[in-house]
Chain A
């Protein structure tokens, strides 16, 4: 180690960030829990997804595709493609955390958008570690508790359509997508993939159109980067 320890003031600041992100993110575990039981997953399957998969977009994708009558294979494939970014977060965090053994396993499980984001923005190494672990644990605890609340409440609602839960799922995907649309090239990829999915939808089983649309991302990523695309609106 050898890096200087944080003073009390900085420690409090970082922990406050961890808690606020944990509460804000964890709370929408309620909507995941409710949508999951509405999709036909049991309480325990819903709990298992939050405890084991622990990556919001992938979890929403699994229950969304199951709800639409898609195959298990399509649900697993979409969830896995969505989770690939966590591998890159792991790459970034492994440099900052320097963890081995069981701590590495725990760090991997807590590697998500929020913990990585709070970790990497801190200026000091010890704050980066505190930010990652604090946010990861806070989100993990809140997300899992709120999932149970949502699943229990969702079970009492009955017909999901009556309460518009079938509109809640795409709204949740919209909210997850929104912060990723700041760049012009991202908006282009989003538009193209939406069109691809809608064109393919009548001709393929549920779940498959979304996977075909992922090609838009691969093509966009392989294309040589053009200057100026990031600034266009």
Chain B
């Protein structure tokens, strides 16, 4: 699919899900299993995205490079309760500087 199709389809589905909560009768969605799964989905997806985008190379194989150092610094920043933007900038700066020095 083209990039525009991806953008518009993802947007349409996102809106449909938001609206669903407002129009579907409450008892349909209001179940413990539904809320447990929907609470865990972002955790699983975000964690998988972190893993794949930090540790895999072109063919999907395990790779350790400047990105891992950047994300490591991001985790330390998060432990110190740094705001979102600072976390992201520190990660990018770490990876950028390491590459400028010829590592990773």
CA distance A145 to B39 in the complex (A): 29
Check if A214 sits within 8 Å of B60, measured CB to CB: no
Main secondary structure of the interface of B (DSSP, over half): helix
| Residue in B12, B30, B62, B84 whose Cβ sees the most chain A Cβ within 10 Å | B84
Interface string of B79-92 (1 = CB under 8 A from A): 00001110111111
Partner of A58, one of B2, B10, B85: B10
The answer to whether A78 touches B45, judged by C-beta atoms less than 8 angstroms apart, is yes
Give per-residue flags for A69-80: 1 if the beta carbon is below 8 A from chain B beta carbons, else 0. Answer: 001110110111
CB-CB contacts below 8 Å: A181-215 with B? 181, 185-186, 189-198, 201-204, 206, 209-210, 213-215
Residue B8, interface by CB 8 Å: yes
| Chain B CB within 8 A of A30 CB | yes
Query: B49 at the A/B interface (Cβ < 8 Å)?
Result: yes
Residues of A at the B interface (CB closer than 8 Å) are 24-25, 27-28, 30-31, 40-42, 45, 48-49, 52-55, 57-58, 60-62, 64, 66, 68, 71-73, 75-76, 78-95, 99, 104-105, 107-109, 111, 161-178, 180-181, 185-186, 189-198, 201-204, 206, 209-210, 213-218, 220-222, 225
Task: Give Cα A29 to B10, complex, Å.
Answer: 18
Q: In the bound complex, do residue A177 and residue B11 qualify as a contact, i.e. CB atoms below 8 Å apart? A: no
Closest approach, in angstroms, between the C-beta of B76 and any C-beta of chain A?
A: 11
Cβ-neighbour of B21 out of A24, A105, A111 (below 8 A): A111
In the complex with contacts A213-B48, A220-B36, A79-B96 CB distance below 8 A: no
Instruction: Report how far A4 CA is from B15 CA in the complex, Å.
Output: 32
Bound-state Cα–Cα, A164 to B74, Å:
13
Q: A66-B3, A82-B42 are in contact. List 13 more A-B contacts (CB 8 A).
A: A45-B3, A49-B11, A76-B13, A79-B14, A87-B18, A88-B38, A108-B15, A108-B18, A162-B96, A174-B74, A195-B51, A201-B61, A222-B37
- Contact B11–A52 (Cβ < 8 Å): yes
Partner of A173, one of B26, B46, B85, B100: B46
Say whether, besides A167-B66, A174-B74, A202 and B38 are in contact (CB < 8 Å): no
User: With the chains together, A170 CA to B88 CA distance in Å?
Assistant: 9
Q: Which residues of A contact B55 (CB under 8 A)?
A: 198
CB-CB nearest in chain A for B22 = A94
Which B residues, 1 to 46, have Cβ-Cβ distances below 8 Å to chain A?
A: 1-15, 17-24, 26, 29-30, 32-46
Contact check, A164 vs B56: say whether CB atoms are below 8 A apart.
no
Judge whether A180 and B35 touch: CB under 8 Å: no
Chain B residues near A62: list those with CB within 8 A. Answer: 6-7, 10
Residues from chain A with a CB closer than 8 A to the CB of B87 are 171-172, 174-175
Across-interface contacts of B74 in A (CB, < 8 A): 167, 170-171, 174-175
Interchain CA distance A130-B45 in the complex, whole Å:
32
